[in-house]
Amino acid sequence: MKRVGVFVCWCGSNIGGVVDVPKVAEVARSFPNVVFTQEYKYTCSEPGQEMMIQAIKEHRLERVVVASCSPRMHELTFRKTIARAGLNPYLLEMANLREHCSWIHPDNPEEATEKAINLVRKAVAKVSKVVPLQAGSIPITKRALVVGGGIAGIFAALDIADHGHEVVLLEKEATIGGKMALLDKTFPTLDCSACICTPKMVDAAQHPNITIMSYSELESVSGYIGNFDVTVRKKARYVDLNKCTGCGICETKCPTKVISEFEQGMGTRPCIYKPFPQAVPNKPVIDPVNCKKLRDGKCGVCARVCPTGAVNYEDKDELVTGKFGAIVMATGFELFDYSVYEEYGGGRLPDVITSMQFERLVNASGPTGGKIKRPSDKKIPETIVFVKCIGSREEVKGKKYCSRACCMYTAKHATQACEKLPGADVYVFYMDVRTPGKMYDEFYTRTTREYGAKYIRGRVSKIWQDGDKLIVRGEDTLVGSAVEIEADLVVLATAMVPVKEAAELAQKVGFSYDRDGFFTEAHPKLQPVDTNTAGIFLAGCCQGPKDIPDTVAQACAAASKVTALFSRDQLATNPMISEVNEDVCVGCLLCSKVCPYKAIGGKEIKEQVHGQEITRVVANVNSGLCQGCGACVPECRSGALNLKGFTNDQLMAEVDAACL
């Protein structure tokens, strides 16, 4: 028999105004195991807690029931209280007399009191069955993996590294820098993107705590918070990074030229190449698809001209494993493929380009040296039409959401076009202009008033080629008439979408993503950088479209989450997790199939049966992974599983008491 104490709280008049608290306390005294009851105005207050501690000591109470508010409100408070009295904190049960009783039955005090008595009886029945639980602890590997080397990944890595922790920055391309390295200028200040981005890339490369693994992809992830086991595939680079000095002779001598991805298809690159001159690491890779030597075995020029003998055609993909305590996902975005819009030429009109291509056109290091020339005949355009919301806010072929950054970068592009081409006509078709940001609306106002970009509110219905002109037909909804513009160049502000492999990555790492493939944060307001998997955090556009300031803010937030995690050596684990009775377990492992956290596996045990040693498989719960949902318990045919804190006999006792 356990000595149970029941503490009934008035909660001022919140409970006491409806429920007959003295009666509840009096009746509770007659329940099995109950040796002490007490009522008090505010049990959660300091004197209330002190009285509870006194009573526990004086009456040698072994289990405590607090009949007050919701356990979601004060369970932690009272656990700490009884721990101060020397009891195990898990020997507590709460009866919810406020939210579930007095507040919802104010005009029925009699039945409310009856219900309150029942709720207390239920809590007493359960608490009589509870056992002490010990929070376990798991060690934390203070090493972070940042997946994606764009501006989000770089900032997250730098912040974590500055706190003194080791960081591996993983990047699938040959260089870090991501999309920001492609940009010419950044809104709203129009400062040069490369001037603020490339120094950060160099900082990351030179930071003693950061290891950059470029041209590498995530192969597999297992483990749990504090202890992730990660395998990375280092793709064959065909260039030995240790020998290569990055002199670039190979690039100039390579005879095969192909379309450059970095220049968004508007320039060419050799087959042994650095994506761009400021690449980090500033060393080339060989494109195995187009390289003649790797494809046909003929050529080999780069190996011959390389002064250090760094070219190695025999290079193979390599799998590297590592242990990490936390993972920051910063995999960024891609542009929506607008070729689904046949009405805009379906990608076949050479002078209809995306905003990212325009970004390269105005960029001084771009294919035209910063001169805006249209791709088809290199003519300097006199009329440029920008069309916003290509794929954004469009449910039929595009995405429902707003891509957030397009209004501002289109305003920036319009400004740049007006600046670089004085006298040119610049039109912007828009649905709405959304400029919620510091200095954003001021920028937009300047674009229209000072630079004279003409904003037309309406959608474009069709774009077609007519001679060397593009005809853009749309509607001006403010005037209420159709408009047709003869343009030389059309720029489409395409939506931001997650990278192709986003869903696959989320499954590999083990957290959730939404219908569009963006990674889902644990709470849209209060946990914006956590995922629903502990130890995995989000930064940047992989979580949803955003601009650079928001991306950097989120990256720093994710880094601070990681460093907060790393500030401890051990992580306390929730003791209310599943446990296996190995004597009863038959090793069917049905439980492992329902576990959402892959926390249950099989393990071999040896035991003596009739004097012989036999080996059999039983279920094994990983205390680091188990989150305590208990879905496995009803699944167990042999009744070997139980959820600590919500065991079968505890819940059954509650059912029995509640039915009395």
Partner 1 sequence: MSVSEKSVLNQKAESSAWKPKIIGFCCNWCSYAGADLAGISRFKQPPYLRIIRVPCSGRVNPVYVLRAFQKGADGVLVAGCHPGDCHYATGNYFTRRRFLIFKRLLEYVGFEPGRFQARWISGAEGQKFADNTKKVVDDIKTLGPNKRMRLDSIPQIKY
Q: Is 76 in the site for partner 1 (CB under 8 A)?
A: no
Taking the complex as a whole, how short is the minimal distance between the CB of residue 181 and partner 1, in angstroms? 36
Q: Is 640 in the site for partner 1 (CB under 8 A)?
A: no
Taking the complex as a whole, how short is the minimal distance between the CB of residue 577 and partner 1, in angstroms? 10
Burial level of 258, CB count in 10 A (0-12/13-18/19+)? middle
Binding region for partner 1 (CB under 8 A) out of 195-203, 359-367, 542-550, 593-601:
593-601
Q: Is 104 in the site for partner 1 (CB under 8 A)?
A: yes
In sequence order, the β-bridge partners of residue 38 are 7
**Complex with partner 1: residue 71 or 624, whichever CB lies closer:** 71
**Complex with partner 1: residue 177 or 510, whichever CB lies closer:** 510
> Cβ(543)–Cβ(593) under 8 Å?
no
Taking the complex as a whole, how short is the minimal distance between the CB of residue 41 and partner 1, in angstroms? 20
Instruction: Return the residue of 107, 395, 466, 583 that touches partner 1, per CB under 8 A.
Output: 107
Instruction: Return the residue of 340, 483, 576, 589 that touches partner 1, per CB under 8 A.
Output: 576
Q: Is 589 in the site for partner 1 (CB under 8 A)?
A: no
> Cβ(176)–Cβ(219) under 8 Å?
no
Q: Is 633 in the site for partner 1 (CB under 8 A)?
A: yes
Contacts of 484 (CB under 8 A, 6+ apart): 471, 472, 473, 474
- CA within 13 Å, CB half, 595: 25
Scan residues 516-555 and list those touching partner 1 (CB under 8 A). Answer: 532
Binding region for partner 1 (CB under 8 A) out of 357-365, 545-553, 614-622, 644-652:
644-652
Binding region for partner 1 (CB under 8 A) out of 279-287, 297-305, 327-335, 646-654:
646-654
Taking the complex as a whole, how short is the minimal distance between the CB of residue 561 and partner 1, in angstroms? 19
Instruction: Return the residue of 76, 135, 605, 655 that touches partner 1, per CB under 8 A.
Output: 655
Dig out the tokens for 485 from the structure. Answer: 């513009």
Taking the complex as a whole, how short is the minimal distance between the CB of residue 182 and partner 1, in angstroms? 36
Contacts of 274 (CB under 8 A, 6+ apart): 174, 175, 246, 248, 251, 282, 283, 284, 285
Binding region for partner 1 (CB under 8 A) out of 5-13, 103-111, 356-364, 579-587:
103-111
Instruction: Return the residue of 37, 38, 118, 403 that touches partner 1, per CB under 8 A.
Output: 118
Q: Determine the 3-state secondary structure of 161 from DSSP.
A: helix
Q: Is 594 in the site for partner 1 (CB under 8 A)?
A: yes
- The closest alpha carbon to 229, from 216, 214, 218, 244, belongs to 218
What angle, 0 to 180 degrees and rounded to 10, lies between the N-to-C axes of helices 151-162 and 548-566? 30
Q: Is 622 in the site for partner 1 (CB under 8 A)?
A: no
Taking the complex as a whole, how short is the minimal distance between the CB of residue 641 and partner 1, in angstroms? 11
Q: Is 363 in the site for partner 1 (CB under 8 A)?
A: no
Taking the complex as a whole, how short is the minimal distance between the CB of residue 635 and partner 1, in angstroms? 7
> Cβ(644)–Cβ(133) under 8 Å?
yes
Taking the complex as a whole, how short is the minimal distance between the CB of residue 249 and partner 1, in angstroms? 53
A 10 A CB-CB count for 382 gives 13
**Complex with partner 1: residue 114 or 315, whichever CB lies closer:** 114
Q: Which amino acid is at 208?
A: P
Pairing of strands 137-139, 92-96: unpaired
Instruction: Return the residue of 21, 25, 101, 144 that touches partner 1, per CB under 8 A.
Output: 101
In sequence order, the β-bridge partners of residue 494 are 390
Q: Is 70 in the site for partner 1 (CB under 8 A)?
A: yes
DSSP secondary structure, 3-54, as one string: -EEEEEE-TTTTTTTTS-HHHHHHHHTTSTTEEEEEEES-TTSHHHHHHHHH
Taking the complex as a whole, how short is the minimal distance between the CB of residue 104 and partner 1, in angstroms? 5
DSSP secondary structure, 371-402, as one string: ----TTT-PPPSEEEEEEEESTT-SSSS-SS-
> Cβ(166)–Cβ(211) under 8 Å?
yes
Contacts of 206 (CB under 8 A, 6+ apart): none
Binding mask 120-149 for partner 1 (x = CB under 8 A): --x---------------------------
**Complex with partner 1: residue 71 or 178, whichever CB lies closer:** 71
Burial level of 567, CB count in 10 A (0-12/13-18/19+)? exposed
Dig out the tokens for 86 from the structure. Answer: 């020397």
Instruction: Return the residue of 111, 342, 468, 476 that touches partner 1, per CB under 8 A.
Output: 111
**Complex with partner 1: residue 311 or 506, whichever CB lies closer:** 506
**Complex with partner 1: residue 49 or 96, whichever CB lies closer:** 96
* Binding-residue total with partner 1 (CB under 8 A): 47
Instruction: Return the residue of 512, 569, 607, 649 that touches partner 1, per CB under 8 A.
Output: 512
> Cβ(647)–Cβ(126) under 8 Å?
no
Q: Is 609 in the site for partner 1 (CB under 8 A)?
A: no
Alpha-carbon gap, residue 562 to 530, rounded angstroms: 10
Taking the complex as a whole, how short is the minimal distance between the CB of residue 655 and partner 1, in angstroms? 5
Cα distances (angstroms) measured from residue 261 to each of 58, 168, 278, 308: 77, 25, 16, 28
Instruction: Return the residue of 9, 91, 119, 460 that touches partner 1, per CB under 8 A.
Output: 119
Alpha-carbon gap, residue 63 to 79, rounded angstroms: 11
CA angle 570, 572, 573 (to 5 degrees): 130
**Complex with partner 1: residue 66 or 160, whichever CB lies closer:** 66
Residues that bind partner 1 (CB under 8 A): 70-73, 96, 98-101, 103-108, 111-112, 114-115, 118-119, 122, 512, 532, 576, 594, 596-597, 627-631, 633-635, 643, 646, 648, 651-652, 654-656, 658-660
